[in-house]
Structures are given as structure tokens and as C-alpha cells.
Amino acid sequence: MRVLVRHEEIVDICKKLGAQLTKDYAGKQPLVACVLKGACPFHSELIKHIDLDIEVDYIHVSSYKGTESTGTVVFKKDFDIDITGKDLIIVEDIVDTGVTLSTLKPILESKGISSLKFVSMLDKPSKRKVEFKPDYVGKTIEDLFVIGFGLDLDEKYRNLKDIYVYNED
């Protein structure tokens, strides 16, 4: 398998995004929420580089892709923290069709939060089925299936420290 993003580059990405978030949220105490399970390693690295009094929480959502442009999101695990009035930052592993986050967005917006931004470690804009643009992106990639650093194939490979292209041929 070919390495696409080395661990050192991922850490660099987290340092850059962390510095940007530190600047953009100066004077605030955002709630930085990880979307289980794939975003866990990225979220864990990223929060080390946010120099603010942040809060952390974890959500687990399942998206059922219905038609090409619609989806349904079910919370397998909701926030532990009451998100009313919070500056919410959602941390995701990868945006592909955009269905999951574009479906999640209005649900979160209806919960009385102060602000909402999305951070994604990877972005595959060429795969979009619905319009969705994460506010912060670690790295934009081609239309490739990737594994490692949280990204799985049937729950395997999440523990790999680098990100690989799975079965390219």
C-alpha cells in the first residue's frame, strides 16, 4: 500500500490548524467535538495545538444515504455537554459525498448554538454529491479510498500512524 500522508505531515497539519483555530477563536471557549470513530486520532492530535480553554466532547452519527442528494443522520451517541450557546467546532476525518455533514449541519444549527464550524482532516471535493465546504481542511486529496490514522475498512487499519491509499490497482 502506498503512503499518502505521513504521520509527520499529519502532525504538521494539526499544528497549523490548531494555530489558526487559536487565532480565530481568541477570547472564546469553543466546544471541539470529535465525530466517532474515524476522527479520533486527528481530534486527539489537533486539540493539543489549540491554545485556548476549550471543551471537548464526542458524538457518533450514522448517515443513511437515501437519494443522491438527501441523507438521514441518526445519533448513535449524542453530546454529553449541553451545546446551547456554544461555539461548536465539529471535527471529522474525511468529507467525501458531503451527505453526512450537510445533513448534520441544520440539525446542529437548530440546537441554539452560538456558532458552528467544521474541520476535516481530509477532503475529497471531486466526490461531492451535495454542496458542502468544510471551514478548515487539513489536506485535499484525489478520488482515492484511504485508510489509517482513524480511517477504517470494516473497522480495521484505524491504528496505522500514516494514511495509505487502499488497493490502488
Closest CA to 146 of 6, 19, 11: 6
98 binds ligand 5GP (CB under 6 A): yes
CB of 142 to ligand 5GP, least distance (A): 10
User: For this structure, is 87 an active site residue?
Assistant: no
From 4, 34, 151, 160, residue interacting with ligand 5GP (rule: CB under 6 A): 151
Q: Which residue has the cell 477532503?
A: 123
CB of 31 to ligand 5GP, least distance (A): 20
Q: What secondary structure does DSSP assign to 84-104, as a single string? A: TT-EEEEEEEEESSSHHHHHH
d(CA 68, CA 54): 36
Peptide bond before residue 37 is cis, with ω within 30 degrees of 0: yes
146 binds ligand 5GP (CB under 6 A): yes
Segment interacting with ligand 5GP (CB under 6 A) among 1-9, 52-60, 97-105, 107-115: 97-105
From 4, 147, 160, 163, residue interacting with ligand 5GP (rule: CB under 6 A): 147
Q: Which residue has the cell 466546544?
A: 31
